Amino acid sequence: MTGDAPLSRPPMGTLAFWCWAAAFTGVVYLAGRWVTNDYVFFAGYIVLQYVLLATAWNILGGYAGYVNFGTAAFFAIGAYISTALNKWLGLPLPVLILAGAAVCGLIGLLMGGLTLKLQGVFFSIATLALAIVTQALITNWEYVGGAAGAYVIRPSRGPLGGSYVEYLFYTMLLLATLAVCIARTVERSAAGYGLAAIRDDEAAAEAAGVPTMKLKVATTVLSGALMGAAGAPLPFFVTYLDPPSAFNLAVAVNTIAMPLVGGTATWIGPVIGAVLLSIVQEAAMVTISSAVNLLLVGLIMIGFITLAPNGIMGLLRGRRR
Amino acid sequence: MPISASFRRAIPAASCSPAVVDKRSRGKRAWKGKPNGMDPLLELLLNAVVAGLLLGAFYAAVAVGIAIAFGMLDIPNLAHPAFVVMGAFAVWLLNDAFGLDPILAGILCLPPFFLLGVLLYQAYYACFESRGDNALQGLAFFFGILFVTEVVLILVIGADYRTVAAPYIGPNWRIGGIDLPLRMLVPALVSLLMIGGLHLLLTRSFIGRAILAVSQDPLALQLMGASPVRTKRLAFGLSIATAAIAGALLIIIQPVEPSIGREFIGRAFAVVVLGGMGSFVGMLMAAMVLGVTESLVATLFSPSWAPAIAFGFLLPTLAIRAGGLMGRKL
Amino acid sequence: MAALLDVQGLGKRFGGFTALADIDLQVAAGERLGLIGPNGSGKSTFVNCISGTLRHDSGRVTLGGQLLDALPPHQRTRLGLARSFQLPRPFGSLTVAENLRVPLLYAGATKLSDAECRERGMALLGQVGLADKAAQRPRELTQIEQRKLELARAMAAGPRLLIADESMAGLSNAEVDEIVDLLLRLNGQGVTIIMIEHIMRAVMAFSQRLVCFVAGRKVADGLPEEVVRNPEVERAYLGE
């Protein structure tokens, strides 16, 4: 019954998926050991960062239908927590990532607890406002450079040998793979069905026994934590962090555009969207200005929302039928 | 006047916020020891409150479009502040090229903006509302429009700050120790006039009452013989048209660059939600409260905190109103 | 016999409007109760208050001796109170089978395995005659099939009490009979059922007992034949 299989159940066994994920990560890792040009790691890092962000966004936005416009806030908080802890205690990167994830998860808990009782649109507006207020807070936080920004020293060598950028790339590879695995697990567990029910009809979901509030808040925490983890390595990647670069509007737009372009119903959609859109942008960056580049992303996003609401995956499935 | 850090860096002190200007001029007065019979702290606070009221009146002009679109029509038009900025630039073009008065230019922009709103609603209706699933997709749609508008403005006009010239930009009335800068006072009065006019239109005219009816009960409206879609189209056109005037007021008050609209999203929605979703009186009061609070915080602490205040209003409002709203529509 | 559902002094106001005033109602285990009343008499508000979608202002509601008042809807569902919606509200992005999977996963007292879920779901779909549509989307179903799905989803929660809220509006006579048969069968399996309905033929064929609401008050409660002859009920339906 492949042809009629619901969107939420692509025909692949769980064991097979984990094997593929492990094999993919391993192959990319081994391939990376051959590469000597750091540009490949820079470009690859950006792609993987977007895979991670788009997947994190989609767990809440795609599965539950709650649109988070505040990705930039979670991302930037992850980056600044990491900057601050690095300056204060000089902790190793994995610990910084955990700390960024923990703080962002907590913010997700607060935001979710306060606003998720309402219709989704109020949550969305609150997240939009969160991005603006967080930027105001961080601009006033002198310890991490305030409005002027701060330099972060990037070690020249990574702990695994190779350059530090290469190490950052592997870290991001691991995080992105982990996020995709989490997304797929959520999608296929009871939570996945509960979230789909919430997205389709919240009152009916509640009547069917789904603890909607608890599930939504838990998902917001998970999604926020993953976004925080995505931001934590950023200071070492850019080496100079200031509010405008951390709160880049491109991050917020891309994170929403990518799942919508790829398709929000399954874990593969955001991955496809992230890889596709970040490669398009990387290629366009060389030839045209960054403003035109952003315009392109915005127009592609609007095009997909209006003409292909189920994204590339929806188009593919439609054709197969 | 709330100003982001980047704004503060980009703009010379002369065009800074009234609160900042107040502080500076007060310092000067105190230093000269000019006697005017008022306690300096009291004078400072009074000035901040008046500046906040004027500012709040302007916020209401931005929020009124959202009160119509979101509060009455249930259309989450996140892009409204971007249209306000677009209005500001249209006014700037007319002012720069023909020396037209900014407010007159804003009025001239009403028809094209109304048309833009009609077209945008048509697209929104065809793609989302008629399909029935307008929550996720509709929000992302308007977010995309917000973003694209901003980028197009940067590409067409550039990322520089623009200003307009008008006789009321610059002069300052002083009444009993209270500063009334005309570039704040005139926009505030125009805003109140516009909101009053809209209120009359909505309560007195047939189309206005149809708009109010569509916000209450689309089915009943249909039974009355008016088409809900056509009514909503008109109302949304009206809501976008207000952005032309709000844009004119914005560029009178402060220099404008394309991404400045973002600063008003949180404020405008906070005002609409706090004011009770679609009530003009509530919205006006909420805008005044926000304006005064921002002005006081800017005077007593720092203007860079101002954007945080709208959020401080919004979050508790959403949390407290949860029960009521949930009872109405889950 | 102890009542399964015990409603005492239930009241609900919207602003100044009294939607429900001081409703007392007991439903015995295994009973088939019909609830009628003109539009706006408070039937839907009553269902929403019992199932937890709305919070009532006064009175108390218990199910099998357990107080429901402070519980959110999903916990009431887990305690055995299921409802169908007036207009079918299926989960549109899920298949028919998956629509049942949601309550099977969430509302049951015990955690079901994947295979058990599928088996229980298919059994329920077989019962309502939708087994061959299991892989379809709700929007591909006909009107009556959607009603059946709505009832099957409520049944998948394993309820002791099922509230069927106007599950026959807009159906043909033959289809109405089909739904009534279905509800009678479910009742035969031991499920207590409250049927809220405008179609008198269906109500009279189904109910052991009939309750009538007028303007937020219970005006009649008794044997169906007696209730329809009650002058207050007649006045409400026929006008004065």
Which residues of chain A are within 8 Å of residue C94 when distances are taken between CB atoms? 6, 8, 193, 196-197, 200
Q: Do A306 and B127 touch (CB under 8 A)?
A: yes
Using pLDDT thresholds of 50, 70 and 90, give the confidence band for residue B3. Answer: very low
Over the stretch B124-142, which tens digit does the pLDDT of each residue have? Answer: 988 887 776 656 788 889 9
Share of residues in chain B with pLDDT > 70 (%): 82
Q: What per-residue string of b and e applies to B178-205 under the rule 16 or more CB within 10 Å gives b?
A: ebbbbbbbbbbebbeebbeebeeebeee
For residue B327, give both structure tokens.
Answer: 């009872």
List the 78-137 stretch of B: residues with Cβ below 8 A of C: 133
Q: Is the pLDDT score of C235 beyond 60?
A: yes
Mapped onto helix, strand or coil, the DSSP state of residue C25 is strand
| CA–CA distance, A115 with B318 (Å, rounded to integer) | 6
d(CA A66, CA A305): 16
Residue in C205, C148, C139 with CA at minimum distance from that of residue C171:
C148
Of B135, B136, B269, the CB nearest to A125: B269
pLDDT value of position A3: 35
Q: How close, in Å, is residue C223 to chain A by CA atoms?
A: 30
DSSP B162-207: B----TTSS-EEEETTEEEEHHHHHHHHHHHHHHHHHHHHHHHSHH
Test mutation, B216, B217, B330, chain C, max C CBs within 10 A: B330
How high is the mean pLDDT of chain C? 90
Pairwise pLDDT comparison (A153 vs B94), residue with the higher score: B94
Confidence grade of residue B90 (pLDDT, cut at 50, 70, 90): very high
Q: Is A309 left (phi over 0), alpha (psi -120 to 50) or beta?
A: alpha
* CB spacing of C74 vs A265 below 8 angstroms: no
Q: What's residue A10's pLDDT?
A: 47
- What tokens appear for B329 in the block? 């529509």
Tokens of B294: 């921002």
Answer for the pair B290, B271: CB distance below 8 angstroms, yes or no: yes
pLDDT tens for chain A, 321 residues long, are 333 334 444 456 777 888 888 888 888 877 777 777 778 888 899 999 999 999 999 999 999 999 999 899 999 999 999 999 998 988 899 999 999 999 999 999 998 888 888 778 888 888 888 888 888 888 888 888 888 888 988 888 888 778 899 899 999 999 999 999 999 999 989 999 999 999 999 999 999 999 999 999 999 999 999 999 999 999 999 999 998 888 887 888 899 999 999 998 889 999 999 999 988 888 777 777 777 888 888 899 999 988 888 888 888 876 544
**B235 falls in which pLDDT band (50, 70, 90)?**
very high
For residue C32, list its beta bridge partners.
C193
Calculate how close chain C gets to A197, using CA atoms only, in Å. Answer: 6
For residues B252-268, give the mean pLDDT: 89
Q: Give the integer Cα–Cα distance in Å for B59 and B49.
A: 15
The residue with greater pLDDT, C217 or B330, is C217
Give the model's pLDDT for residue A259. 94
- What is the DSSP secondary-structure string of B250-319? HHHHS-B-GGGGHHHHHHHHHHHHHTTSS-HHHHHHHHHHHHHHHHHHHHHS-GGGHHHHHHHHHHHHHH
Mean pLDDT of B220-230: 72
For B234, residues 6+ apart whose C-beta sits below 8 A from its C-beta are: B118, B207, B211
Bridge pairing between strands C192-196 and C32-36:
parallel
Model confidence at C127: pLDDT above 60: yes
Assess contact for C220 and C227: CB atoms under 8 A: yes
Contacting residues for A106 by C-beta, under 8 A, at least 6 apart: A221
Based on its alpha-carbon atoms, the radius of gyration of chain B, rounded to whole angstroms, reads: 20
- Whether pLDDT at B23 is above 50: no
* Closest of B273, B318, B267 to residue B52, by C-alpha: B267
The answer to whether C53 contacts chain B (CB < 8 Å) is yes
- Find where tokens 């007319």 sit: B94
Percent of chain B with pLDDT over 90: 43
CA–CA separation, B136 vs B128, rounded Å? 10
pLDDT band, residue B4 (cuts 50/70/90): very low
pLDDT value, residue C3: 86
Q: pLDDT tens-digit profile of A124-165? A: 888 888 888 888 888 888 888 888 888 988 888 888 778 899
Cβ-based contacts of B154 with chain A (< 8 Å) = 291
3-state secondary structure of C240: coil
- Residue C95 near residue C121, CB atoms below 8 Å: no
pLDDT score of C1 more than 60:
no
- Nearest-CA neighbor of C59 among C14, C13, C24, C19? C24
Residue A130 confidence (pLDDT): 86
Given CB atoms, is B326 within the 8 Å cutoff of chain C? no
Which domains does chain B possess? Answer: 5-328 (1.10.3470)
Confidence of residue B224 (pLDDT cuts 50, 70, 90): low
Do residues C45 and C22 make contact, with C-beta atoms less than 8 angstroms apart?
Answer: no
Domains and CATH numbers, chain C: 3-89+162-238 (3.40.50.300)
- pLDDT over threshold 80, residue B232: yes
The span from the CA of B107 to the CA of B92, in Å, is 13
Q: Checking phi first, is residue C166 left (phi over 0); if not, alpha (psi -120 to 50) or beta?
A: left
- Identify all chain B residues contacting A124, using CB atoms and an 8 Å cutoff: 76, 139
pLDDT band at B221 (very low <50, low <70, confident <90, very high): low
- Flag whether residue C74 sits within 8 Å of chain B, measured between CB atoms: no
Cβ of residue B330 closer than 8 Å to a chain C Cβ: yes
Alpha helices in chain A (DSSP H): 14-34, 38-61, 71-88, 93-115, 120-139, 164-188, 190-200, 202-207, 212-231, 234-238, 243-246, 249-262, 268-287, 290-307, 311-320
pLDDT-derived band at B1 (thresholds 50, 70, 90) equals very low
Across the interface, whether the CB atoms of B330 and C55 are under 8 A apart is answered no
Backbone angles phi, psi at C66, to 5 degrees: -95, 130
Q: Which of A198, A194, A183 minimizes the C-alpha distance to A264?
A: A183
Chain A residues whose beta carbon lies within 8 Å of the beta carbon of residue C106: 190, 194, 208-211
Which residues, in sequence order, are CB contacts of A160 under 8 Å at separation 6+? A166, A167, A170
Count Cβ atoms below 10 Å from residue A300 Cβ, excluding itself: 19
| Cβ pairs bridging A and C (under 8 Å) | 95
Q: What is the pLDDT of residues C44-101, one digit of tens each?
A: 899 999 999 888 889 999 999 899 988 999 999 999 999 999 888 999 889 999 999 9
Cα distance between residue C111 and residue B190, in whole Å: 64
Confidence of residue B169 (pLDDT cuts 50, 70, 90): confident
Interface predicted TM-score (ipTM) of this complex, two decimals: 0.90
**DSSP, residue by residue, A144-172:** GTGGG-EE-PPPSB-TTSSBHHHHHHHHH
Q: Which residue has the higher pLDDT, C231 or A7?
A: C231
- In the predicted structure, residue C149 carries a pLDDT above the cut 60: yes
Does the structure show a pLDDT above 50 at B186? yes
CB A211 within 8 Å of CB A103: no
Cα distance between residue B216 and residue B214, in whole Å: 5
